[in-house]
Chain A
Amino acid sequence: MRVAVAKTYKLYVGGAFVRSESGRHDVVEGTNVPRGSRKDVRDAVKAARKAQAGWARKTAYNRGQVLYRAAEALEARAGELAAPADVGAAVDLLVHYAGWTDKLHAVLGTINPVAAPFLSLSTPEPTGVVAVLCGADDALAQVVGALAAPLAAGNAVVVALPERAPLAGLDLGEVLGVSDVPGGVVNLLSGRAAELVPALAAHRDVNAILDATNDPALAVDVDTLASESLKRVIRGDQSPLQRLEALTELRTVWHPIGA
């Protein structure tokens, strides 16, 4: 009889698999799971910031290909990370967002017919580092749907994974690690919402928060902390385009027309 090798779950920060700097763990879904601390949040935000400019500088086509490759890698592990239907839905969300990267400008951007001899254009730019807050029992597809939107728009993300169902999300790090996603563009933290969320919401170098927790009490705390640095906060059931728009900043540029 063959003895199986047990898996150690780790956080995914800066493209590497690390233990929580606090050394703590929780037992969740019958196994040890890192209990992310505010210092892990600090490290993750730092990694995200470092990686974000390079991710935004890639061509939209390239970002789309990376997300599609993540879809390919995830599809290959259907049934392993989570139930096949859940994985299938997650893959489809990645494919959907892979197709958004090079279409966002056509849909959100404009050429503005200003009443003066200027070419004026407005283009959507990524907002920067986005904190994604998951609901405590969210399935893999919900986690993926929440983080794919900011990614498609050129942001880097730090994800507070579902407190009571973090394993699929942590495994997602392995999928992303093989998918040409540059280190630091996605950071995945397991742990207790009560510790991770305030740390993320108060961190001044986070530009926006995608709050998918569906927790009205938490919403007040998040919004209050967010107001300190005027973070953009998005919550609620939105369409992909609404999420994409909320996680981008429109920049308008004017240039004279005149020989």
Chain B
Amino acid sequence: MSETTTAPTTNGHAPAAAGAGRAPLRWEYSPAPESTGHVRLRERYGHFIGGEFVEPADGAYAPTVNPATEEPLAEVAQAGKADVARAVAAARAAQAGWAALPGLERGKYVFRIARLIQERARELAIVETLDGGKPIKESRDLDIPLAAAHFFYYAGWADKLSYALPGPGAITPRGVVGQVVPWNFPLLMAAWKLAPALATGNTAVLKPADTTPLTALLLAEILQEADLPPGVVNILPGDGRAGAALVRAEGIDKVAFTGSTAVGREIQAALAGKDIGLTLELGGKSANIVFEDAALDQAVEGIVQGIFFNQGHVCCAGSRLLVQESVAEQVVDRLWARMQTLRVGDPLDKNTDVGAINSAAQLARIGELVGAGVEEGAGLRQVACALPEKGFWFAPALFTEASPAHRISREEIFGPVLAITTFRTHAEAVEKANNSNYGLAAGIWTDKGSKAFEVAAQLQAGVVWQNTYNHFDPTAAFGGFKESGFGREGGAAGLRPYVRQEA
């Protein structure tokens, strides 16, 4: 049902006299900006190597920009090969000592990091929003708390590894790990990488994404506050070249990468023949499947959460809606009506639901694919909303007649764009959902538990959400099937890639 624009009629009740009954009005939310006055960013940030902030080897700095305003936030060092080598050496020097610590003591360092993140939570959330463009309510309520929770969770495994990794053989850390994280959940992805690595006795070199280095650099300050032994974690901001150099560097024992499938393939090729552990968390084109016996309003919320959360910049985004044909019209109508209430705008406003697109480059990619969808005749509908003049923005959109063959049904858009396709039976839904080279996540909406479990058992997806979407927890393993990557993060399973265990 679309939003009413005409006043509804009451049912025969006499209108009240003046004072008691007021005419309907428009009640608009006033701006509710998060106050940022207490946040102090440095003018420039060096690399974090051996426990200190240091100048880059070749002196290169680049600005990091607020995608909502296009204003620069700080100058950040850019890593080259020499910086990478220096960081790897620092990590190597620290590794034996770190691994030799009793598990409980190592765990206590990681607990400290968790607590310090909690103490500086507000500041971290604001910086995450400034640097990346996501709504403050998301960085405040999801990114930062979950990052702290990951450190807290893995801290507790440090002295319990034999329970997580049963077997008679000795468990040893891999050594020095090279980790490259993306721009969509900068601090959270850093936590997903660092926490299990540290708990198991590895030391790390982390390269944050080029458009979002700031929270990783604040994390570096937190590591100093936690008195983490120098060299245990090294943080090297930089662009794709820095990441490429890191994963290929001499002295790296294991690589963990979250990013695009295309780059994931390159990394796997580059490591061919080397005995270097590799885990990849790549792209997706996940199906959100709505059955006719779903709780429809909650399913609509789940669809919205699935694709408009974080502007759709989510590897496991429910970017394909597979809706049972018998309820398709109803679901699309409710969804369209619901989309009208999405508030797109200033990410620092506490009432903003959809923030800025992370960069001009990403905006262009989204535009290109959406253009293809229009040409393919997939039926574009886009919410009409006022968008700020400066910054990178894309209003939430859906394609109502996407066919499985269309590009927009097959390629990852990584933006607030939903492709909608119908199905008739649950078998057809499963077939369509699995008909992809990706296999990261899926959603199933039905009130019938046995159906939910049967469909889940047939989906080639590493994460299946039943009657919910985009829920994450440090205890629950996350990762993909097929070309969405391999290896798992979260849970006891998340420890395994970071250790070797004798046979």
Contact = CB atoms under 8 A, between A and B. Distances in A.
Nearest to B108: A95
A142 B158 CA distance: 22
Given A99-B107, A106-B492, A255-B453, A241 B163 contact: yes
A85 interface: no
Contact of B157 (A72, A92, A99, A258): A99
A103 B426 CA distance: 35
Contact of B491 (A99, A100, A106, A259): A106
Interface string A141-168: 0000000000000000000000000000
A65 interface: yes
A13 to B, nearest CB: 30
Nearest to B156: A99
Contact of A107 (B104, B149, B163, B453): B163
B449 interface: yes
Interface string A34-74: 00000000000000000000000000110011001000100
A63 to B, nearest CB: 12
Contacts of A100: 156, 160
B159 interface: yes
B424 interface: no
Nearest to A59: B473
B475 A106 contact: yes
B413 to A, nearest CB: 30
A68 to B, nearest CB: 6
A256 interface: yes
A259 B426 contact: yes
A106 B495 CA distance: 13
Contacts of A257: 450, 453-454, 457
Nearest to A106: B492
A102 interface: yes
A18 interface: no
Given A95-B107, A103-B163, A106-B491, A259 B451 contact: yes
Most chain A CB inside 10 Å of its own CB: which residue of B426, B451, B453:
B453
B323 to A, nearest CB: 16
A72 B491 CA distance: 25
Nearest to A117: B454
Interface string B345-382: 00000000000000000000000000000000000000
B155 interface: yes
Contacts of A259: 426, 448, 450-451, 454-455
B152 A61 contact: yes
B164 interface: yes
A98 interface: yes
A103 B160 contact: yes
A96 interface: yes
A83 interface: no
Interface string B147-178: 00100110111111001100000000000000
A65 B111 CA distance: 10
Nearest to A119: B453
Interface string B316-332: 00000000000000000
A255 B474 CA distance: 25
Contacts of A96: 104, 159
A119 B452 CA distance: 11
A101 B149 CA distance: 13
Most chain B CB inside 10 Å of its own CB: which residue of A60, A72, A99, A258:
A99
B475 A102 contact: yes
Contacts of B108: 95
Contacts of B149: 61
Nearest to A71: B111
A64 B448 CA distance: 34
Nearest to A101: B156
Interface string A66-88: 00100010000000000000000
Interface in A129-149: none
A5 to B, nearest CB: 33
Most chain A CB inside 10 Å of its own CB: which residue of B153, B158, B491:
B153
Nearest to B105: A92
A72 B118 CA distance: 15
A64 B474 CA distance: 13
Given A106-B475, A258-B454, A99 B160 contact: yes
B450 A255 contact: yes
Given A64-B156, A106-B491, A257-B457, A95 B104 contact: yes
A106 B426 CA distance: 31
Contacts of B159: 96, 99
A256 B157 CA distance: 34
Interface in A219-243: 241
A107 to B, nearest CB: 5
A61 to B, nearest CB: 6
A102 B156 contact: yes
Interface in A155-183: none
Interface in B282-313: none
Contacts of A72: 115
Contacts of B160: 99-100, 103
Given A92-B104, A257-B454, A98 B163 contact: no
Contacts of A255: 449-450, 453
A257 B457 CA distance: 8
Contacts of B163: 103, 107, 241
B153 A102 contact: yes
Given A61-B149, A68-B111, A103 B453 contact: no
A96 B155 CA distance: 10
Interface of B: 104, 107-108, 111, 115, 149, 152-153, 155-160, 163-164, 426, 448-451, 453-455, 457, 474-475, 491-492
27 contacts: A65-B152, A68-B115, A95-B107, A95-B108, A95-B111, A99-B107, A99-B156, A99-B157, A99-B159, A99-B160, A100-B156, A100-B160, A102-B153, A103-B157, A103-B160, A103-B163, A103-B164, A103-B475, A106-B475, A106-B491, A106-B492, A255-B450, A256-B453, A257-B453, A259-B426, A259-B448, A259-B451
Closest 7 CB pairs of A and B: A99-B156, A259-B451, A256-B450, A257-B453, A259-B454, A259-B426, A258-B450
Given A100-B160, A258-B450, 19 more contacts: A68-B111, A68-B115, A72-B115, A95-B104, A96-B159, A99-B157, A99-B158, A99-B159, A100-B156, A102-B153, A102-B474, A103-B156, A103-B160, A107-B163, A107-B492, A256-B453, A257-B453, A257-B457, A258-B451
